Each structure stands twice: as C-alpha cells, then as structure tokens.
Chains A and B, each alone.
Chain A
Amino acid sequence: MLANKRMLALGTGAVAVALTVTACSSGAVQAGGGSTGGDGGTVTLKVATVNNGQMKDMEKLKTEYEAANPGVKVNFQVMEEGDLRAAVTADVASGAGQYDIVTIGAYETPQWGANGWLVDLTPALQSDASYDVNDLLPPVRDVNTYDGKLFAVPFYGESSILMYNKEVMDKAGITIPQNPTWQQVADAAKKVNTPDMAGICMRGKPGWGDLFAPLTTVVQTFGGNWYDSNWKATVDTPEWKEAVGFYKKLLDDSGEKDPVSYSFNECLTALKEGKAAMWADASVAASMLEAADSPVKGKMGYAHMPVDKTKESGWLWSWNLAIPTSTKQKDAAIKFVKWATSKDYIKLVGNKIGWSNVPPGSRTSTYSIPEYKDAAKAYAPITLDVMSSVNPKQPGVNPQPWVGIQYVSIPEFQDVGNQCAQLVADYLANRGTIDDALSKCQSIAQAAGDKHKK
C-alpha cells in the first residue's frame, strides 16, 4: 500500500511539473510570437533555411541586422535539406504563411515562380542601384528566373570541379590538365589506385541529389540527357548506357569500396584522410579541403569537371532566398533578403567570421575582393571560371526544354531521380544489369515526361 501511495504521490508530482512546464512555456523556442509581429510594433521575420555552413553564419550575423534595424527581429529555423523541402513546400503551397523568407534550391525557383507562390523580386532589386543586381553571376541568375522575373536571389552558389591530390599525382608522374577528359581522369585514377588509396571517389548513394548530381553531368557530357526537347524520355539511349557503364567501370577499376554508401561527406572524409586521390564534386568542397585543420591543405590541385563531348560539364546549384506571397511582412522581408545577398554582407562575413567562409558563387564582385582572393586563392579563380562558363540552358549536346544542369525542373523529377538512382545503384553494386536499370528508368521518366508534353 505504501508503494501505491508513493506512486500516487509520484503521479501527482508529475502532473504538478507538467502544469508548471505548461504555464511557463507558450512555445519555448525563440519567444516573440508569430510573424504578425510582437509587442510594441516589433516585426518578427521568420526565416526557413538549410543547415549549411554559410546559412549558419547568416544566423550568427542576424544580430548585426537587428542592431541596424531597430524594431525587427529575425528568427531562423534551420533544417536538414529534406526536412526543409517538406516543411517549406507544405507551407508555401498551402499559403499558410508561417515563413516570411524561405531558402529554396535552384530546382524549386522556376516551378514555384510559375505557380505564383513567390514574390517577384525584380522591381525591388532593379530599382536599387546600390544592390547592383547585374553583379549576380549570370548562370545562377538564369536558373532563378522564370518568365523574365527573378523569383529568388542566390545566397550561395556552386558548380562541380575535379579535385586531386597533387603529391600523389606528382609521385606517379601524372599531370592533370585544366580541362581534362573523363578518359584522362579514368586512366590517371587507375594508375594511382592502390589497396589503401582509391584512385577516385565518386558518389554512389541512391538519391536524385546524391548519385544523380554527378552522374547526370556525366550523362550530359557523353551526349545523353533525361528528355529531348519534346519531353520524350531518352534514358534507354546508347549515350546513357555508355555514360553509366563508364561510371561503373571507373568505380570498379579505381573507385572507393562500397560506392553506394558514398556521397559528398564520405568522399570529403576519404580525400582528407588520404583514402582517395581524386574527387569530382561540388566546388565548395575545395574550401573544406583547404581549411586550416585539413591534412591535405595546400596539397590539392583543382581542374574543371572532366568532359567527353561537351566543353564544360560542371553542374550548377544555388541556395536562394525567396519570399512566399503568403507573407504578411513583404517589405521587411525584401529588405532582409537584400541585406543578406548584398555586397556589404559578403564583406561583413569576411570581416566578422573569416574570408574563406564568405558565401561563394553568388556575386561576381566577390571574386575581386583582395582579401577573398588571398584567402581562397587555391580555388576561387577556378570556381568563378567554371560558374561563369556553364550553360544551364543547354548543358548537354542537344537542346532541352528546361533550364538547369544536374536536375530537371519539373515537380516529378525528385521521384524519377530517386527511383532511377536506386536502380542504377543496384547496378553499381552488382545487384542488377544496366539494361534492366535503364529500361525501367526510361518508363519511370516517360510517365513524368508525358505530363509536360505540349
């Protein structure tokens, strides 16, 4: 009975604690209420963003903005990429208006702009000479433009490049040209491949944004693409077979073991730890390989993404700030977006956080700041070079009916890409054949393409 009494007491205690907790919390995170503003005319801007280093720096620097703009509070909600897509899409598509500023990828901007979900930023940006909208890198501007309107402003941009360990290459007597071909890279990888060090590390993890980011660019430079200009799927073509077959052979001959568990971070670790000699991936990786604590700092060489039939084969990705039409704080939101993507913001990051942490790939002028040129001398010139020369309107050999490189900007593509990536990953892991994978992928892609045929 004593035990029971104690249990009852415990229960009562728990209820008391619960009530206390309840009483003192009306949403404990970042008190300040909803976006309709708090007390005393304070405007609260809610920003949804992705958890990348540059965005976390923006969160740190928001106090500078708040200090310069009394009466404005900025609440950041940082999310993992997949979570961000789910949460922000539900919010923006339904017009719920929970976020005043959202971070979206280059993949979303044209689609959401076409749906009327985003505020057209062109008038606000063009009317402000000090913002200098023409300074935004042209290809990045292109992927965020729909129907001549800029629906999102790039905050961070990247292309893909080839990164290689110079020491290893020198020892093997190999010189990697500035614009290598895939065959040259495959030969070099084979030459330096040892049981302890893979010749090259490439993504194999299934996912449209994992395996298919580099693989789509390989397919495009081999002359293939997802669709022809009439939205007919072209996955079962010889070009695809050649490209995917090449990718598999490259990995089999000199790639990392178990490639299907490798994506950006795994390859980054492999390169840093000397477990791989080369890597073709996002240009931002260079800043991590050159970071102060990196064992390969100063030992790396960088070249354009390898090609086959095209002149360039780098991808183009950007994280952009956009304002949903459902916001109740449009003017305040525009002001913040302009601040976060301005030339002054770049300088603020450089001075307060460090010049190598500056968001890359958004503005041309970033690459002529002396401090940045010095801090990022190993990779800044090539990043600017590649990002200015890729052509998102026609990255492959043939014309395509959308703007974008390593993705197709239709809503179905996430699903098409994910399913096909699974099929191709099975082939990479010797669990299926290439013909089977590509023919299944062809019908998946065609079903999506049929919806866009004119």
Chain B
Amino acid sequence: MNSPSSTTTSNRSARGALTTLVTWVLVLIFFFPVFWMVLNGFKPESLASSVDPTFIFKPVTEGYQLAMDRGMAGYLQNSLTAAVIATIISVTLAIPAAYALSIRRVKNVENSLSFFISTRFMPLAAIVLPLFMIFKTIGLLDNIYMLAVVYGAMNLPVTVWMMRSFFLEVPFEIIEAARVDGAGMFREIVRIVLPLVLPGVAAAALISFIFAWNEYFLALLLTSSAARTTPPFLGSFVDGRGQFLAVLSAAATIAALPVIIAGWAAQKQLVRGLSMGAIK
C-alpha cells in the first residue's frame, strides 16, 4: 500500500502528464492548419485540392514563383509601411494616455476608458462607408499613410487598455521615490515607468502590428491599387473557376513570415508582457 505522500506525488505526476498531453494535443490542433498551409504551398495545384489528403510528395516551388511573379513584394512593402506607422502611432499615443489613466490620474478622465473601448463596439462595416466618403472627399483614397493612420486609430483603444493594466503594475513607491528625487513628469515616464513596463509595451506593439498587418476589410475598400496591402492580395488568389489552393497557401506562407519572425524575436518580452496584467 502506498503512503499518503507517495499517492499525492504519483497523483501530481499523473496530473502533470495529463496536462502535458492535453497541451500537446491543443498545440497540434492549433498548429495543424499552419502546417497544412505550408505543406500545400509546396504541392502542385492538382495535389493540393485533391480529395485525399497527401503528406508525401515531390515538393515544387511553382506556387511561390507565381505569387512573387504577381508582384507580392509591393503588397508586402505596403503592409509593412501601414503596420509599422500604425504601431508607432498607437504606442506613442497610448503611453501618455495610459499614464494619465493609471499613475497620474486625471480627474474625470477615468470614464473615458469605457469610451475608448466603445469605439471598437461598432462593426467595421458600419464605419467603412463614412470613412470611404470622407477620404474620397479629401482625395486620400488609395493612400497608404491614410490607411496607416486609420489602423493606428483603430488599434489605439486596445493599446491604451493593455498599457494601462501594465502601468498599474508599477509599484507606486518607485514613482514616489523618483518624485522625491525631483523627477519631472517627462523624466518619470521615460526613465522610471517605461523601462519597467517595456515588455508590456513590446506586447502591445506586437499586437498592434499584427492587427494592422492582417486587416482585410478596410484595406479592400479604402485602397485600389497603389496602396493595396497583402490581405486583399491574398484573397485575389481565390478563383471561382479553377483550383488555387497551392498558390494561395504559398502566398499566405510568405505573408505570415514577418509576423512569425517578429513574434519569435519578441517572444521573451511577449510572454512576460502578456502575462503582466494577470499577476496580481
């Protein structure tokens, strides 16, 4: 008969093994579509759309060639411009906003938090036509900087909310100490608060970047040719009269790479940043 303590230990290890197993199953389920996309990108068109799934085949790079031949580089460059500018806009504006909402609380501004997020309640379909008409009137349709500003504004509520929760984590004693030492507001933000919440800033920036990188609907309607971004370009591979899975998968793989690389590079900060607000 087992002693109580060894039972607990074996229970714990059994639970641990189960957790590991469930995690692996979940990881596989989430990863499989990505894996399938990468795999399909290397198949000839007829094999990619085949009814019977094929795992072993002679890889071809036709899909990649086709995607690049159709000028994918230009679309990627537009997406990068829009996403980077949008991220800079939203992060630069969110830092002071979050500061005013957490550390140096400004009276009567607290309510604006829910106002911020309420701008995200409205479905995009409802705001796209007014936006279209405004940009048409001021002659800024099909302009990548205009799109970047829209993305920056669109991401702002989320970045403000994220940053605020990170700022709340900063122990007030540190800030007090800085103030006692004579630090002004600007120095307090730049030298004291920001270094402490940098992982959070990185996480917010990455999320803002991903949102802007993936945005489809506004890009489709507000741009026509010069400023068109990658997502509608990917959509353009869908063919109502013919097979397109291989070339679409190849193009989608290329489009996913920058985000995967950015996420991988910022992984450490990201994990810390994303869990920052959660540890109480």
A52→B241 contact, CB < 8 A:
yes
B50→A86 contact, CB < 8 A:
no
Considering the chains assembled together, what is the distance between the CA atoms of A30 and B74 in angstroms?
7
Shortest CB distance B258–A (Å)? 12
Considering the chains assembled together, what is the distance between the CA atoms of A31 and B232 in angstroms?
18
Instruction: Say yes or no for B168: interface residue by CB 8 A criterion.
Output: no
Interfacial chain A residues near B145, Cβ < 8 Å: 22
Interfacial chain A residues near B141, Cβ < 8 Å: 96, 98
Interfacial chain B residues near A270, Cβ < 8 Å: 51
B133→A94 contact, CB < 8 A:
yes
Considering the chains assembled together, what is the distance between the CA atoms of A330 and B61 in angstroms?
41
A83→B80 contact, CB < 8 A:
no
B236→A22 contact, CB < 8 A:
no
Interfacial chain B residues near A33, Cβ < 8 Å: 226
B221→A52 contact, CB < 8 A:
no
A51→B144 contact, CB < 8 A:
no
Interfacial chain A residues near B81, Cβ < 8 Å: 18, 21-22, 25, 28
Candidates B51, B70, B88; contact of A269 at CB < 8 Å: B51
Instruction: Say yes or no for B123: interface residue by CB 8 A criterion.
Output: no
Q: Known interface pairs A21-B81, A26-B144. Does A264 touch B198 (Cβ–Cβ under 8 Å)?
A: no
Most buried by A among B52, B198, B224, B237: B224
A83→B240 contact, CB < 8 A:
no
Within 8 A of A (CB), among B61-90: 70-71, 73-75, 77-78, 80-81, 84-85, 88
Residue of A nearest to B91 (CB): A11
Q: Known interface pairs A81-B240, A83-B220. Does A29 touch B78 (Cβ–Cβ under 8 Å)?
A: yes
Residue of B nearest to A22 (CB): B81
Q: Known interface pairs A7-B198, A29-B78. Does A87 touch B235 (Cβ–Cβ under 8 Å)?
A: no
Interfacial chain A residues near B33, Cβ < 8 Å: none
What is the total number of residues of chain A having a CB less than 8 Å from a CB of chain B? Answer: 55
Instruction: Say yes or no for A273: interface residue by CB 8 A criterion.
Output: yes
Candidates B51, B143, B241; contact of A284 at CB < 8 Å: B241
Q: Known interface pairs A34-B142, A46-B225, A94-B133. Does A25 touch B77 (Cβ–Cβ under 8 Å)?
A: yes
Contact digits for A430-444, partner B, Cβ 8 Å, 1 yes 0 no:
000000000000000
Segment from A71-79, A225-233, A234-242 that makes contact with B: A71-79
B51→A25 contact, CB < 8 A:
no
Shortest CB distance A7–B (Å)? 5
Instruction: Say yes or no for A128: interface residue by CB 8 A criterion.
Output: no
Interfacial chain A residues near B267, Cβ < 8 Å: none
Instruction: Say yes or no for B269: interface residue by CB 8 A criterion.
Output: yes
Q: Known interface pairs A21-B77, A275-B51. Does A27 touch B143 (Cβ–Cβ under 8 Å)?
A: yes
Instruction: Say yes or no for A176: interface residue by CB 8 A criterion.
Output: no
B243→A265 contact, CB < 8 A:
yes
Q: Known interface pairs A28-B81, A273-B50. Does A34 touch B226 (Cβ–Cβ under 8 Å)?
A: yes
Considering the chains assembled together, what is the distance between the CA atoms of A52 and B239 in angstroms?
6
Within 8 A of B (CB), among A1-53: 1, 4, 7-8, 14-15, 17-18, 21-22, 25-34, 46, 48, 50-53
Instruction: Say yes or no for A272: interface residue by CB 8 A criterion.
Output: yes
B226→A21 contact, CB < 8 A:
no
A30→B225 contact, CB < 8 A:
yes
Residue of B nearest to A31 (CB): B226
Residue of A nearest to B45 (CB): A293
Instruction: Say yes or no for B46: interface residue by CB 8 A criterion.
Output: yes
A79→B142 contact, CB < 8 A:
no
B78→A27 contact, CB < 8 A:
yes
Contact digits for A79-97, partner B, Cβ 8 Å, 1 yes 0 no:
1110100110011001010
B129→A90 contact, CB < 8 A:
yes
B226→A29 contact, CB < 8 A:
yes
Interfacial chain A residues near B240, Cβ < 8 Å: 50-52, 81, 209, 264-265
Considering the chains assembled together, what is the distance between the CA atoms of A1 and B228 in angstroms?
41
Most buried by B among A94, A96, A209: A96
A96→B136 contact, CB < 8 A:
yes
Instruction: Say yes or no for B202: interface residue by CB 8 A criterion.
Output: yes
Interfacial chain B residues near A75, Cβ < 8 Å: 225
Q: Known interface pairs A4-B198, A28-B74, A52-B239. Does A90 touch B221 (Cβ–Cβ under 8 Å)?
A: yes
Considering the chains assembled together, what is the distance between the CA atoms of A90 and B46 in angstroms?
36
Considering the chains assembled together, what is the distance between the CA atoms of A21 and B86 in angstroms?
13
Considering the chains assembled together, what is the distance between the CA atoms of A51 and B247 in angstroms?
13
Residue of B nearest to A265 (CB): B243
B221→A25 contact, CB < 8 A:
no
Considering the chains assembled together, what is the distance between the CA atoms of A86 and B236 in angstroms?
13
Candidates A52, A96, A272; contact of B46 at CB < 8 Å: A272
Instruction: Say yes or no for A288: interface residue by CB 8 A criterion.
Output: yes
Instruction: Say yes or no for A282: interface residue by CB 8 A criterion.
Output: yes
Candidates A7, A78, A272, A293; contact of B269 at CB < 8 Å: A7
Contact digits for B123-135, partner A, Cβ 8 Å, 1 yes 0 no:
0000001001100
Instruction: Say yes or no for B242: interface residue by CB 8 A criterion.
Output: yes
Shortest CB distance B269–A (Å)? 7
Instruction: Say yes or no for B195: interface residue by CB 8 A criterion.
Output: yes
B198→A77 contact, CB < 8 A:
no
A78→B236 contact, CB < 8 A:
yes
Considering the chains assembled together, what is the distance between the CA atoms of A269 and B49 in angstroms?
7
Interfacial chain A residues near B52, Cβ < 8 Å: 273
Interfacial chain A residues near B243, Cβ < 8 Å: 265, 268-269
A21→B84 contact, CB < 8 A:
yes
Shortest CB distance B256–A (Å)? 19
Candidates A8, A14, A32, A87; contact of B84 at CB < 8 Å: A14
Contact digits for B179-196, partner A, Cβ 8 Å, 1 yes 0 no:
000000000000000010
Instruction: Say yes or no for A99: interface residue by CB 8 A criterion.
Output: yes
Interfacial chain A residues near B232, Cβ < 8 Å: 79, 83
Instruction: Say yes or no for B117: interface residue by CB 8 A criterion.
Output: no
Q: Known interface pairs A17-B84, A28-B75, A96-B136. Does A51 touch B239 (Cβ–Cβ under 8 Å)?
A: yes
Q: Known interface pairs A27-B143, A28-B77, A98-B142. Does A87 touch B237 (Cβ–Cβ under 8 Å)?
A: no
5 sampled A-B residue pairs with Cβ under 8 A: A7-B198, A26-B226, A29-B78, A33-B226, A270-B51
Known contacts A28-B78, A79-B220, A96-B141; 4 further A-B pairs (Cβ under 8 A): A22-B81, A32-B226, A46-B224, A78-B236
Q: Closest 5 A-B residue pairs measured CB to CB? A: A27-B226, A28-B77, A98-B224, A29-B74, A18-B84
